[in-house]
């Protein structure tokens, strides 16, 4: 069986969740982690998790929306984080590619939510785009890997992945690892220990080959696992087993 460790099922692209779940199950996907990116989407993730046994919730404010995070919202997130089936805080981090929130605001929101995760004793799901150095500095200062965590849709080099794994993080790969020109992702996916490897879709975004140009969905995590199996000269079943076990470990669920 497979696990999609990072999906946005709240997106309006998914107007028939039962059909999405059915297609996922047909491709061997047994669990899907629905990731929040602001308060409203976090609430929706929790509600979806309450309605579907296959779905678990991750709550948090994305760096794009960091300017919306204040003390009142942090208090609401803390209360939401105690709900059943909320397994982590995320996706949180820094995005210096689009800079939809000012950099200093992003940094503060990131720090505050790392503290929130420690208060709730939960792992974190990290978004890092064009901000590797500052993400690492904040993770080290705040001991962000204290309860474990995921580096989502990993885009960095192998040495950075090694450093993150030493801090307690798992390295997750999405659709871009299936792209022919993704040499950096291919190297990392091929060389990191199986015990630290995860797969995700980040749906409805980042659709893998052979479906680029179409809406992504959890069923497509199979193609990411197949590509990683090819890179590592393993069977897809081996990659499925290890990444599913790892997902249960990082999210503190029984296997």
| Residue 190 CB neighbour total at 10 angstroms | 14
Does residue 237 form part of some domain? yes
- Of the CA atoms within 13 Å of residue 46, those in its CB half-sphere come to 21
Please indicate, yes or no, if residue 220 is contained in any of the structural domains: yes
Q: How many domains does the chain have?
A: 1
pLDDT digits (tens, 9 = 90+) for 168-206: 999 999 999 999 999 999 999 999 999 999 999 999 999
Q: 183-187: which pairs have CB atoms within 8 A and are 24 or more residues apart?
A: 184/155, 184/156, 184/157, 185/154, 185/155, 186/231, 187/158
Residue 107 lies in a domain: yes
Pseudo-torsion of CA 218, 176, 169, 219, nearest 10°? 10
Q: Tell me which residue range forms the domain holding 108.
A: 2-250
Residues 6+ apart with CB under 8 A from 96: 103, 106, 129, 130, 131, 134
Judge whether 255 lies within some domain.
Answer: no
CA distance 17 to 127: 25
**CATH number where 71 lies:** 3.20.20.140
Q: What is the pLDDT of residues 63-77, one digit of tens each?
A: 999 999 999 999 999
pTM over 0.85: yes
- Note whether residue 122 is domain-resident: yes
Is residue 24 one of the residues assigned to a domain? Answer: yes
pLDDT digits (tens, 9 = 90+) for 99-152: 899 999 999 999 999 999 999 999 999 999 999 999 999 999 999 999 999 999
């Amino acid at each position: 069986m497979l696990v999609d460790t990072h999906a946005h099922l709240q997106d309006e692209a998914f107007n028939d969740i039962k059909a999405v779940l059915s297609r996922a199950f047909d491709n061997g996907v047994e669990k899907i982690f629905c990731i929040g990116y602001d308060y409203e989407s976090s609430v929706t993730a929790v509600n979806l998790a309450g309605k579907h046994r296959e779905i678990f919730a991750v709550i948090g404010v994305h760096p794009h929306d960091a300017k919306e995070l204040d003390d009142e919202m942090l208090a609401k997130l803390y209360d939401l984080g105690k709900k059943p089936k909320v397994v982590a805080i995320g996706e949180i981090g820094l995005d210096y590619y689009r800079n939809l929130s000012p950099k200093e605001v992003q940094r503060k929101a990131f720090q505050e939510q790392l503290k929130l995760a420690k208060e709730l004793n939960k792992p974190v799901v990290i978004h890092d785009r064009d901000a590797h150095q500052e993400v690492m500095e904040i993770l080290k200062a705040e001991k962000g890997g204290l309860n474990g965590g995921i580096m989502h849709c990993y885009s960095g080099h192998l040495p950075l992945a090694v450093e993150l794994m030493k801090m307690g993080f798992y390295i997750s790969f999405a659709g871009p690892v299936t792209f022919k020109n993704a040499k950096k992702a291919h190297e990392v996916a091929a060389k990191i220990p199986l015990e630290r490897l995860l797969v995700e879709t980040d749906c409805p975004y980042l659709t893998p080959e052979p479906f680029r140009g179409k809406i992504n969905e959890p069923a497509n995590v199979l193609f990411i696992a197949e590509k990683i199996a090819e890179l590592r000269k393993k069977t897809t079943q081996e990659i499925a087993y290890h990444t599913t076990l790892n997902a249960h470990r990082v999210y503190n669920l029984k296997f």
